[in-house]
Structures are given as C-alpha cells and as structure tokens.
Amino acid sequence: MAFASQAQATFIIDDFSDPIAGGNSAQDLTTGDGGVGDTFDSLTVLGGERDLFVELLDEGFDPASGVRMAVAGSTLTYETGSGGIGQGKLQYDGDDNDADNLDTAGLGSVDLLQSGNAFLLDVLEADLGFSFSIGVWSNGGANSFVKEFNGSGTLVPITRSFAFSEFTGVDFTSVSAIEVIINTKGLAGKTSIDFTIDAIKVPEPATMAMFGLGLMGLGYTRRRKAKIEMNKA
C-alpha cells in the first residue's frame, strides 16, 4: 500500500503507482459537452478510489488532441492540444464511482494532522504560467477551504508548500474530501499547458523544516514543458 504508517515519515495520499500502465484516463475532445470523467479503484489511493475529470473549454489549433488526464508509470499527466484550454480535476472522496461530482463527506474522517502539517509540491518544469488549487473538506463536508497557487513559469524547479494553517476553518483531524483543480481560471487560463504529477503527500514536520532552510538540493533549470511534482518520498 502507498499509505505510510504513523511511524513513517510521510503519509501518501496517492503515488500513482496503480495502474502500472493505462487503465485510468479521461479525454475530452468536444467543447460544451460537460466534460469526461473516469474512476479507478485501488488500495494504494486515499479512500480507495481516484477520480479524474477533464473538460475542454477551447479546442485551439488541434481539435483532435483536446484535453487529457491519465495515470501510468507512477505519474499523472495532464495535457492540452496546441492553443487549447482545458480544466482538470483530481478527486479523493471515497469509493463513490462518480468522477463528475465531489462527495464532500466521502472519506469519512481521515486524520492528516497526525502525519504532518502541510502539503508539499515540487514544480519541476514550466515554460508557461499556470494555476491550480487544492481544496480540502472536513467534518463530513461542513467545513472547507480552497487554496490557489499561480505559477509564473519563470523560476523552475521550485518547491511550494501549502501549510494546513492556510486552509482556514478546515479540521485536518477529520478530512472528508480532497480535490485538486488544474487551471482554476477556466477560459481565462493559459493555453497548451502540460503537467506531470508523481505523488501527493503530507511530509513530516522535520521535512518541512529542512525545506525552510533550503536544504532540499533543488536547482533552477528552465525546461520546455510545464510539469508539477508533489514532493515524493
């Protein structure tokens, strides 16, 4: 399983190790159709199910490509065709077999605070600006907060943490749903954005302290494609 025990350094929400090759993907080739979703059941995923959802907002110069999100080879990829604009959603809300709608109470009550105090993200490659958010619901959906991040695509790779304290009103001892949105700006977002995520996790506080001291050994190298990696153990 991908979950770390209480004695281990990291609680893994999803390391995208399952499926190994294909089997969990969503692609939307048509604007105005409301989007396309796909679900995948796995014991390695928080809540037992990963939900992918994509919607093509503007087909751009390559209508045949649309927008696509897929999991394979321990990575999640998000791709849009040349000039195209899309939006992607990644949900952890329990085994509801529904990628279109978020069940804000679906995880029941998961204690993330016992494992750490922040989400940690590594932005490895970016040649364009991008936006994404992490939304967290707690206490059966009674409380929620969505934290947005905007990247300029100029200094990469960079590491960005989302401290639990930034999610006002959320009880991290009773998390009931998590949702990541790629391109929170919709049609106003950037075109031709590609992302790769290889893990979502909650590191132990000691890891966060090292990050704050700049001891994680991250360089700054400009790359050609936009990629996001959420720090992996």
Tell me the per-residue pLDDT of 120-164, one tens digit each, with 9 for 90 and over: 766 555 556 678 899 999 999 999 999 988 765 555 556 677 899
CA distance 156 to 169: 32
User: Where does residue 14 fall: left (phi above 0), alpha (psi -120 to 50 degrees), or beta otherwise?
Assistant: beta
Q: In what order do the strands lie in the sheet with 227-229?
A: 158-163, 118-125, 227-229
Whole-structure pTM value: 0.82
For residue 163, list its beta bridge partners.
118
Mean pLDDT score of the chain: 79
The string of DSSP codes covering 143-166 is EEEEEEEEE-SSS-SEEEEEEGGG
For 50-68, what is each residue's pLDDT tens digit? 999 999 999 988 878 899 9
Amino acid at 1: M
Residue spans of the domains in the chain: they are 10-229
CA distance 23 to 55: 19
CA distance 166 to 133: 12
Single out the residue of 67, 77, 12, 25 nearest to residue 228, CA to CA.
77
Ranges 162-166, 189-193, 216-220, 229-233, most confident = 162-166
The pLDDT value recorded for residue 7 is 35
CA distance 152 to 130: 7
Band of the pLDDT at 215, cuts 50, 70, 90?
A: very low
CA distance 125 to 217: 16
Q: What is the DSSP letter of 172?
A: T
CATH class of the domain defined by 10-229: mainly beta
Of 65-74, 150-159, 186-195, 210-219, which range is least confident? Answer: 210-219
Number of neighbours of residue 232 by Cβ within 10 angstroms:
17
The string of DSSP codes covering 37-48 is EEEEE-TTSGGG
CA distance 13 to 169: 21
